[in-house]
Amino acid sequence: MHTNTHVGQRQKESVLTNQLIRSGTSIGANIREAFYGHGTADFIAKLQIALKECSESEYWLELLIESGYYDNSDILDKCIEVKKLLVASINTAKSKLNK
């Protein structure tokens, strides 16, 4: 038999995981869009959106880990690596745009 506390915890976990799924899938979608952008400025804009979504995903992962819903921090490390790659790609594209 489920208690109200257990159901409430599952609902909170579901809210967090749904937010993570939304922001996490948006990263890849915006990166894909960047490749078909209208010039370098559009490419940069799409990567910046992907970076924002990556940062949001990092937040949701931190909440899931800190709340005990998820206990493997490897995925958080991978998210941080993706964020670093996005920052480097944006900076490279900006330097080419300003030449």
* Domain assignment present for 2: no
Residue 98 neighbours by CB distance under 10 Å: 7
The closest alpha carbon to 67, from 1, 24, 17, 4, belongs to 17
* Domain assignment present for 5: no
* pLDDT for position 1: 45
pLDDT digits (tens, 9 = 90+) for 35-90: 998 999 999 999 999 999 999 999 999 999 999 988 888 999 999 999 999 999 99
CATH code for position 79: 1.20.1440.60
pLDDT digits (tens, 9 = 90+) for 22-43: 999 999 999 999 999 899 999 9
pTM confidence score: 0.86
* Domain assignment present for 55: yes
Report d(CA 82, CA 56) in Å as an integer.
12
Q: State the residue range of the domain holding 41.
A: 13-97
Mean pLDDT, range 4-15, rounded to an integer: 70
Q: What is the DSSP letter of 68?
A: T
4 or 77: which leads in pLDDT: 77
Q: How many domains does the chain have?
A: 1
